[in-house]
Amino acid sequence: METLNTSCLKEGNEIYIEDNINRFYTLLNRHKIKIKNKIFLITDDVIYNIYKDLIYELQSKTECKVYYFAHGENNKNINTVQSIYNFLIENNANRSSTLIALGGGVVGDLVGFVASTYMRGIKFINVPTTLLSQVDSCIGGKVGYDYNGIKNVIGSFYNPVFVYICTRFLKTLEEKQFKDGLGEVVKYGMIKDIQLLDFIDKNYKYILEKKNDKLFYIVKECLNIKLEIVEKDFNDSDLRNILNFGHTVGHGIEVSSNFTISHGEAVALGMLAAVKLSEKKLSLNSEVYMKLEALLEKLELPTRYKVDNYSTFLYAINHDKKNTDKIRFVLLEDISKCKIKVEVTAEEIYSAVEGSISRG
């Protein structure tokens, strides 16, 4: 088991990465999580059904109570938050209680938000089960939910006591869900580490086959990149903006598709549009687009998408929490060299989308 230490996590300061779930219980003792103060595991129905045996084992060892809600981004809303509050109140959760978030990014974001607000803040542990959540959303402190079709517009910054990453969870992911996480992996290479891109390019077949050593490497590298960025800008006022490369158009695609396009797929498409914008706004070499497109195709991620509803698409972009009165993008001057808060017009977005993902 490897441990990553970071000053951006106020409590615990530890992220654990391994491929054996059985050592999770020793960490509860190490972090002084007491059974008598009540432990509550929150997950979604898909994860609950996949990991019933694991959850039953946890219950037998910790006497934790379990609650699950319907899977999917469409359920990342105030109704689900309220249902978790009700569950905690009905089961007498108190300020000494601990929540365990078992699942992907939706579960982690929702449970983290509930933990940050229930009785003005209680402990929670994040156990991400998807590649997307393991390489990205499980750290950094951003928690929240979607509201009125706007992603993550309600939220706060709140850290778990610790994050427990077991790459063995990735073996049970469906192919589409696994590939979804690869969109964020490529993003990290584009914004910060060309060597990671080269590793993916050379090992993409083994990655798609879920070879454990390759998965361990990409998870650890992505986390190290994110930790370096978050430690310098925890409250997301400047440098941390680079983590949103590909996300502005990506959010527009997610919302306008009614979430039939997953987050990682949308980020992959959004990166292509952002690179095309970078060619126009920052004179980025056109070879970067070809390199990115070829890599996404190797990973079997989408490189084409037709935006059918531009009003919904632009509404989501205009209401992105990073924007104020103007639309701002993270663009590239080169691979691993980002420029944040670049002002872009709706016409330029349309042109970039039509010249990249919507062409042909």
Residues contributing to the annotated binding site: 105-109, 129-130, 142, 151, 169-172, 184, 247, 263
- Residue 19: CB atoms within 10 Å: 16
Contacts of 288 (CB under 8 A, 6+ apart): 275, 278, 332, 334, 335
Q: How far is CA 23 from CA 13, 19, 29, 241, in A?
A: 18, 10, 11, 35
Q: What is the distance between the alpha carbons of residues 222 and 14, in angstroms, rounded to a whole number?
A: 16
CA 320 centroid distance within chain: 16
Angle between helices 212-232 and 175-192 (to 10 degrees): 50
Contacts of 1 (CB under 8 A, 6+ apart): 16, 17, 18, 20, 23
For the annotated binding site for NAD(+), the residues are 105-109, 129-130, 142, 151, 169-172
Closest CA to 330 of 267, 242, 216: 242
Q: Which residue has the tokens 């609650």?
A: 67
Q: Which residue has the tokens 């060597």?
A: 195
For the annotated binding site for Zn(2+), the residues are 184, 247, 263
Assign 3-state DSSP to the chain and report helix, strand, coil percentages, each to 5.
55, 20, 30
- Residue 89: CB atoms within 10 Å: 11
Closest CA to 262 of 160, 137, 178: 178
The runs of H, that is alpha helices, within the chain are 24-30, 45-50, 52-62, 78-90, 105-117, 131-132, 175-192, 194-208, 212-232, 247-256, 263-282, 287-298, 310-318, 346-354
Q: Structure tokens of 14? A: 């530890």
